[in-house]
Amino acid sequence: IAMTPVCEGSDQLLTATSTTAGVTYNWSGPTPLVVNNNEATIKAATIASNGSYSVSATLNTCTSKSATVNVAINPMPVVPTIAMTPVCEGSDQLLTATSTTAGVTYNWSGPTPLVVNNDKATIKAATAASNGSYSVSATLNTCTSQSAAVDVAINPMPVVPTIAMTPVCEGSDQLLTATSTTAGVTYNWSGPTPL
């Protein structure tokens, strides 16, 4: 019996071969098979399909001993999750993938180049142009999960404010007024004397 292991959810094909011409094949196994003489298919195979499958050959009422094969369906990795903490424009944006399936490798994609270290992907010196949907899938034994996605929105860097003042005489209050073209900012003051 020949077979190539498949991923969970795919059809597992088993193929029998005999050097005796004209035989018919008799299949059996722990889960139902769709049989086409020398070929038997486990439809939409799952881990529950694993086990020993056998086939014998019959010719003129004579039946051979059975050949067996152990089917082991490759499990499909669990869809990963993505964690991130939004950063300000010009900083590196780190994306971290996690899967409950051990030993997976991760496959990243997104609208801008990523520096990838398996479960971690970094957008270097991120800008507003880095915004968009980034996705990751998990692969184990040639089986690749569906993708998880996260929307990256880099926080814009406020424009440097300007300061206006009118000089005053000693003993008077000196007022400093900051203005920024970026709406909604809060201002952080510092200087040699309390403000």
Q: What is the pLDDT of residues 136-151, one digit of tens each?
A: 999 999 999 999 999 9
- Taking 50 as the pLDDT cut, the residues of the chain under it are none
Q: How many CB atoms lie within 10 A of CB 83?
A: 10
pLDDT of residue 68: 97
pLDDT of residue 78: 96
Match 């139902």 to its residue by tokens: 32
CA dihedral 171, 189, 161, 165 (to 10 degrees): 0
Provide, rounded to the nearest whole percent, the portion of the chain with pLDDT above 90: 93
Tens-place pLDDT, residues 33-59: 999 999 999 999 999 999 999 999 999
Which DSSP state fits 114?
Answer: -
pLDDT of residue 87: 97
What phi and psi values does residue 171 have, to the nearest 5 degrees? Answer: 95, -15
Q: How many helices (DSSP H) and strands (DSSP E) are in the chain?
A: 0, 17
